[in-house]
Amino acid sequence: MNEPAVKVENLVKRYKEILAVDHLNLEIRQGEIFGLLGPNGSGKTTTINCILSLLSYDMGDISIFGKPMAPNRYDIKKDIGIIMQNVAVFDELTVYENIDYFCGLYIKDKKIRAQYVEDAIDFVGLNDFRKFYPKKLSGGLLRRLNIACGIAHKPKLIILDEPTVAVDPQSRNSILEGIQKLNENGATIIYTSHYMEEVEQICTRIAIVDKGKNLALGTKDELKKLIKKREIITIDILDIKDSDIAAIENLPHVYDVTFENHQLTILCDGGQHNLIRVLDYLQSKEYSFGHVHSELPTLNDVFLEITGKELRD
């Protein structure tokens, strides 16, 4: 069996009196796209920096591809690509020169490096912009350049921190397709984002961390089973009696019913045929109703229920 791409055991990191990472355990399998989610200040970035040995930590063990990670483990670091939220390229270098520079940090053979640079330019679709300077690029093109610089040396482990912030939908779609292609080509991906629909779309497994702890881990479907809200039914209806709202709330698997602005909202904690039972009841009472919608919980629902709805700094 392959060693995990990343294994974090009992990780503790303190900043004076602040416990940023609290005995965290993570195991990221080779070949997966692993979503690392958490509110602002949850410990995500600190954890990533510890994995990369950019930060010292108080306790714990970190290994990458079965090898203990340390600040001087350049044999491991050459297999890692990092694309952070803040674009990090040189304004005085062209697109080609930027990619060549970052690739050259790992690939010394000029012939191989030239091919890798071309591969990276092709991969992110920057052929028409190779002589452009970063200041001439749109936000989406700049993000794609940032990704090219991080993956040009063909790393086995790629860490992407909010790579689609402030880009248009077309660029976002291109970036997400590129991430999936990198994964199909054999790279293990660690992906952080506040866009839950992106995580649902591309991640094979997801960890939700907060206050430095791993609160939940699993596939998107496994995570959705952890919360009470399993189905949300909304029905447009002109009016409804309080007694009938109470009766609907007593139907099997229904745990909350609200009526506001001519919309009936029913929350269910599981079960089957919930919508049929609700509609049968309304029809038995001769109610007329309009649009009916049944929705399963999203990853965003899971995230908010697990981490809470309080605003974070």
* pLDDT tens by residue, 193-242: 989 999 999 999 999 999 999 999 999 999 998 988 889 999 999 999 99
Conformation bin of residue 246: beta by default, left when phi > 0, alpha when psi is -120 to 50: alpha
- Residue 125 three-state SS: coil
Cβ atoms of 252 and 260 closer than 8 Å: no
What is the chain's pLDDT, residue by residue, as a tens digit (313 residues)? Answer: 589 999 999 999 999 999 999 999 999 999 999 999 999 889 999 999 999 999 999 999 999 999 999 999 999 999 999 998 889 999 999 999 999 999 999 999 999 999 999 999 999 999 999 999 999 999 889 999 999 999 999 999 999 998 888 788 888 898 899 999 999 999 999 999 989 999 999 999 999 999 999 999 999 999 998 988 889 999 999 999 999 999 999 999 999 999 999 999 999 998 889 999 999 999 999 999 999 999 989 999 999 989 987 777 6
67 within some domain: yes
167 and 47 both lie in a single domain: yes
CATH number for the domain that contains residue 255: 3.30.70.100
The domain in which residue 208 lies consists of 6-220
pTM to 2 decimal places: 0.86
Neighbours of 140 (CB within 10 A): 18
CATH number for the domain that contains residue 156: 3.40.50.300
Residue 308: predicted pLDDT? 87
Backbone angles phi, psi at 42, to 5 degrees: -80, -15
226 within some domain: no
115 within some domain: yes
Tell me which of 165, 186, 220 is where a domain ends: 220
206 within some domain: yes
Residue 275: predicted pLDDT? 95
284 and 177 both lie in a single domain: no
240 and 195 both lie in a single domain: no
Tell me which of 186, 220, 254 is where a domain ends: 220
Q: Interior CA angle at 88 toward 133 and 168, to 5°?
A: 75
162 within some domain: yes
Residue 1: predicted pLDDT? 57
11 and 63 both lie in a single domain: yes
Residue 171: predicted pLDDT? 85
123 and 214 both lie in a single domain: yes
Sequence-distant (≥ 6) Cβ neighbours of residue 156 within 8 angstroms: 5, 65, 79, 80, 186, 187, 188
11 and 158 both lie in a single domain: yes
Q: Interior CA angle at 162 toward 212 and 88, to 5°?
A: 110
138 and 268 both lie in a single domain: no
Residue 313: predicted pLDDT? 65
111 and 241 both lie in a single domain: no
Sequence-distant (≥ 6) Cβ neighbours of residue 50 within 8 angstroms: 8, 11, 13, 21, 57, 60, 62
Structural domain total, the chain: 2
Residue 228: predicted pLDDT? 87
- Using a 10 angstrom Cβ sphere, with 0-12 exposed, 13-18 middle and 19 or more buried, the burial of residue 263 is middle
Query: In angstroms, rounded to a whole number, what is the distance separating the alpha carbons of residues 301 and 306?
Result: 9
16 within some domain: yes
Tell me which of 190, 220, 250 is where a domain ends: 220
69 and 196 both lie in a single domain: yes
12 and 160 both lie in a single domain: yes
Residue 85: predicted pLDDT? 83
Neighbours of 160 (CB within 10 A): 25
303 within some domain: no
Q: Which helix (H) or strand (E) holds 116?
A: helix 110-124
50 within some domain: yes
264 and 181 both lie in a single domain: no
Structure tokens at 50: 């510890």
Specify which residues 234 forms β-bridges with: 265, 293
140 and 215 both lie in a single domain: yes
Residue 260: predicted pLDDT? 96
Backbone angles phi, psi at 249, to 5 degrees: -65, -20
